[in-house]
Amino acid sequence: MDGRLVLEDGSVFEGKIFGDVDCARAVTGEVVFNTGMTGYQEILTDPSYAGQMVVLTYPLIGNYGISKFFSESNKIWAKALIVRESYFTDRKNFSLLDDFLKKHKVVGISEIDTRRLTKRIRSYGTMNGYIQAEGMRGASTEEPWDKTKEKVSLVQQVTTEHTYRLPGKGPRVVVMDFGVKKDILKRLNYLGADVMVVPAYSDAKYIYSLRPDGILLSNGPGDPQDVPEIVATVKKLLGRVPIFGICLGHQLLALALGAETYKLKFGHRGANHPVIDVETGRTIMTSQNHGYAVREKDLRRLGLVVTHKNLNDGTVEGLRHRYLPAFSVQFHPEASPGPMDSTHLFEEFFEMMFKRKAEEQAI
């Protein structure tokens, strides 16, 4: 079925609808691009993509199918998939991308000139848009992108409703779930953590009642300034136990410490972003998915040290507090595109917890 993608600036991109055709009734969202050559299943199921329509710059998508082991959550969070070519592979023990989209009631559009589309977003910045199948009118006469302004915060949409546990024999880590990826939880479990995952809006008193040895602030979607209640909670958590922030968690930790965040022109999304470890001079390859960043201004005055920087645009990619047991990174250390360039950050988190516990026992 023919269809089209229409951007907020009036640009039109013609293509073919696949996936759930019935959902192609002016699907709206923020149009963003990801430069990864693989990982389309992980991208689609990453809660950080909630509310967004994802453009994949690699032209051939679907060629290795869909596996039950690759999803980062139990559903597709992206509102739509935009590709150059959708490949219908047939492999043993793997399902089709088209069937995967249909199962989760998500529309895709192929045969799009993704090179032209990506260059437009890079030139003019991330913008909203809508996908519409031929013959399914009803949205082009108004401003459909206004419908993307959700009444409920994106974090509230993706977080767990109830606390749950992934048992382990090591230190207890409470994960504040802002849209946590399964691989982050697997990494913590692999290192032995007794993991307690709590809803995003849990208060500090409840979190401390779980007797954490450390707290992890997870990744998630949206603007960090949209969740001031969570920032206030993080402020109350500072200082008592080690805190590790990833992606949105990094931004929320920065806000809690008095720093500022801002929206990037087109964000960082892909598995090939070079980042320098400022303290060692070592360059690492990172996986990233975010549209906001921490402003570097006044960080030193706030007691924060910049530990990592993006080599493409110089933005802040990592922070550490001088006195408090708290640090964070903007990229995803569990994704390991390096492949093992930044997994040591989880080990540093554990070392921080062990050190803190030893100090308490020595008193």
**Looking up tokens 């013959």, which residue turns up?**
135
Q: Residue 334 catalytic?
A: yes
Catalytic residue, candidates 23, 72, 247, 317: 247
Pairing mode, strands 214-217 and 243-246: parallel
Residue partners of 301: CB distance under 8 A and separation at least 6:
none
Please report, as a single letter, which amino acid is at residue 205: K
Catalytic residue, candidates 250, 273, 290, 332: 332
Nearest CA to 157 out of 78, 80, 228, 269 is that of 78
Q: Residue 150 catalytic?
A: no
The Cα–Cα gap between 20 and 38 comes to: 22
Helix/strand/coil (H/E/C) assignment for every residue in 68-120: CCCCCCCCCCCCEEECCEECCCCCCCCECHHHHHHHCCCEEEECCCHHHHHHH
Q: Which residues pair with 109 in a beta bridge?
A: 17, 82
The Cα–Cα gap between 223 and 175 comes to: 20
Residues with catalytic roles: 247, 332, 334
